[in-house]
């Protein structure tokens, strides 16, 4: 199977969008409608929850650094169809295009 592009993953109707920023960042910076907030520090302890989410799994943060770490961790723990969506502004731009 070809790896889908970031844009294809974000626009996929089955995608689960996960924002790995801290809750206060969503309040002050804005958020993506319908995304689940799981701060990066909680990702390892919530691995089973990630496994139950619909795929593709799009993780994002403010700039793409933390979501890159989250995506790498999830893939190392056996999850497939994990995409680093980058920053939340980029995800919103794709969703609204």
3-class secondary-structure state, position 19: strand
Task: Give the pLDDT confidence of 10-39 residue by residue, as tens digits.
Answer: 999 999 999 999 999 999 999 999 999 999
Which residue, 51, 70, 10, is CA-closest to 34? 10
The whole-angstrom separation of Cα 82 and Cα 6 is 10
The owner of tokens 């907030």 is 37
Active-site hit among 61, 71, 83, 91: 61
pLDDT, residue 2, reads 56
- pLDDT above 90 (res 1): no
Task: Give the pLDDT confidence of 39-94 residue by residue, as tens digits.
Answer: 999 999 999 999 999 999 999 999 999 999 999 999 999 999 999 999 999 999 99
- pLDDT above 90 (res 4): no
Mean pLDDT confidence for 6-12:
96
Domains (range + CATH), the chain: 6-95 (3.40.250.10)
In the residue annotation, 61 being an active-site residue is answered as yes
Question: What pTM does this model have?
Answer: 0.95
């Amino acid at each position: 199977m070809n790896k889908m592009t970031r844009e294809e993953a974000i626009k996929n109707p089955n995608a689960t969008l996960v924002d790995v920023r801290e809750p206060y960042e969503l309040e002050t910076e804005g958020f993506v409608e319908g995304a689940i907030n799981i701060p990066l520090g909680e990702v390892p302890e919530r691995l089973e929850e990630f496994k139950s989410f619909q795929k593709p799994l799009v993780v994002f943060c403010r700039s793409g650094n933390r979501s890159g770490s989250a995506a790498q961790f999830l893939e190392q723990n056996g999850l497939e169809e994990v995409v680093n969506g980058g920053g939340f502004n980029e995800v919103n731009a794709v969703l609204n295009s």
